[in-house]
């Protein structure tokens, strides 16, 4: 398949690397000049648990990207998605499928503004990746993908997409209720990302506090109320169990969630697509979300203090 990765940061680079290794023609689309130059000059350096290898994948700026891709995988941060879609609008043909696995609520609505007749797939992924430096990622651990077509598309096309992802070892499966999975992951991230960023701690340190589950329940309760209003059958227990499960060091205890890393590295966060999104959807649906609204404001204040 001809595949473009729109947003070749930590995750996009990992997916591009795996898809290229499986025999696909991959192109990276990104706006980070140093990263693009490094990849084009030396190749993308991919570090895994057991290897270090340079992988040759062409990288271009959005305006330079040309041709007809079978698949465009959107992998910007949620708040960068609209800008990316505007810049790659010339690549969105009827035959081009779009796949978005970015975190957060509201990505689909943004994609639908630009997708025209393209088939849209959205989902969630448990893969992870770290951007060490320009042209260099650390791709450890394994993961999976849950995805679902959103508009009308043939069954064959969906099976072909799943087969392409699975041949690359990406463990993709068809979801029966992708919106539920997206809401569940957004609630989970709105707990761990946001509290760890505010409290300046890792997942295990947060989980060790007797306050952890009390704080968690407050965020999740509002998610469940808002989800119900928009017809998503999210249950508090399902999110609480997932949160509890990652507190141990064997799971993600030592991990600093991405919002913590973003603030530490002086980057804006995805809070408007997590706690902020549920507050916004709640306001429209007539549900008060004082906890998520306050947490959103605190993260924005942290961004302001850092001049982001």
| Nearest to ligand NAD of 123, 149 (CB atom) | 123
Catalytic residue among 52, 185, 229, 306: 185
C-alpha to C-alpha distance for 162 and 171, rounded to whole angstroms: 9
Instruction: For the CB of residue 107, give the shortest distance to ligand NAD in the complex, in Å.
Output: 8
Instruction: For the CB of residue 152, give the shortest distance to ligand NAD in the complex, in Å.
Output: 26
Give the number of C-alpha atoms closer than 13 A to the C-alpha of residue 170, restricted to the C-beta side.
29
Query: Which tokens belong to 277?
Result: 């999104």
| Nearest to ligand NAD of 269, 287 (CB atom) | 269
6: helix, coil or strand? strand
Instruction: For the CB of residue 89, give the shortest distance to ligand NAD in the complex, in Å.
Output: 12
Chain residues that interact with ligand NAD, rule: CB under 6 A: 7-12, 30-32, 62, 75-78, 80, 83-84, 87, 102-103, 125, 128-129, 131, 258, 270
C-alpha to C-alpha distance for 86 and 117, rounded to whole angstroms: 16
CA pseudo-torsion sign 258, 82, 163, 185: positive
| Nearest to ligand NAD of 35, 280 (CB atom) | 35
Instruction: For the CB of residue 159, give the shortest distance to ligand NAD in the complex, in Å.
Output: 24
Q: Where are the beta strands (DSSP E) in 51-175?
A: 52-55, 59-60, 71-74, 97-100, 120-125, 130-133, 136-138, 145-149, 172-174
**Strands 97-100 vs 71-74: parallel, antiparallel or unpaired:** parallel
| Nearest to ligand NAD of 129, 216 (CB atom) | 129
Instruction: For the CB of residue 308, give the shortest distance to ligand NAD in the complex, in Å.
Output: 14
185 is catalytic: yes
Give the CA distances from residue 109 to residues 78, 84, 157, 231, in Å, rounded to whole numbers and listed in that order: 12, 14, 22, 16
Query: Which tokens belong to 116?
Result: 């025209």
Residues 137 and 47 sit within 8 Å (Cβ to Cβ) = yes
- Find the residue with minimal CB distance to ligand NAD: 9
| Nearest to ligand NAD of 34, 211 (CB atom) | 34
Q: Residue 154 gets which letter from DSSP?
A: -
Known catalytic residues are 185
């Amino acid at each position: 398949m001809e595949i473009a990765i729109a947003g070749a940061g930590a995750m996009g680079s990992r997916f591009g690397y795996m898809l290229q290794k499986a025999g696909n023609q991959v192109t990276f689309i990104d706006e980070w000049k140093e990263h693009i130059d490094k990849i084009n000059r030396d190749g993308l350096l991919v570090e895994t648990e057991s290897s270090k290898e340079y992988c040759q994948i062409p990288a271009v700026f959005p305006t330079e990207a040309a041709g007809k891709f079978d698949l465009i995988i959107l992998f910007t941060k949620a708040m960068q998605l609209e800008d990316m879609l505007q810049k790659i609008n010339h690549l969105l043909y009827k035959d081009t499928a779009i796949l978005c696995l970015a975190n957060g609520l509201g990505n689909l609505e943004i994609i639908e503004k630009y997708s025209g007749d393209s088939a849209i797939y959205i989902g969630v992924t448990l893969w992870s990746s770290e951007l060490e430096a320009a042209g260099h990622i650390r791709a450890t651990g394994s993961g999976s993908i849950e995805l679902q077509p959103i508009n009308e598309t043939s069954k064959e096309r969906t099976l072909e997409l799943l087969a392409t992802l699975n041949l690359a070892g990406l463990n993709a499966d068809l979801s029966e209720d992708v919106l539920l999975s997206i809401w569940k992951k957004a609630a989970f991230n709105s707990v761990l990302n946001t509290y760890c960023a505010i409290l300046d701690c890792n997942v295990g340190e947060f989980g060790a506090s007797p306050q952890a589950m009390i704080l968690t329940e407050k965020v999740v309760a509002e998610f469940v109320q808002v989800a119900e209003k928009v017809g998503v059958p999210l249950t508090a227990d399902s999110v609480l169990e997932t949160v509890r499960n990652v507190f141990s060091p064997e799971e993600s205890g030592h991990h600093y969630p991405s919002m913590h890393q973003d603030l530490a590295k002086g980057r804006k966060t995805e809070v408007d697509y997590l706690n902020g999104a549920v507050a916004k959807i709640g306001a429209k649906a007539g549900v008060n979300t004082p906890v998520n609204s306050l947490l959103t404001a605190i993260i924005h204040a942290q961004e302001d203090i850092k001049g982001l």
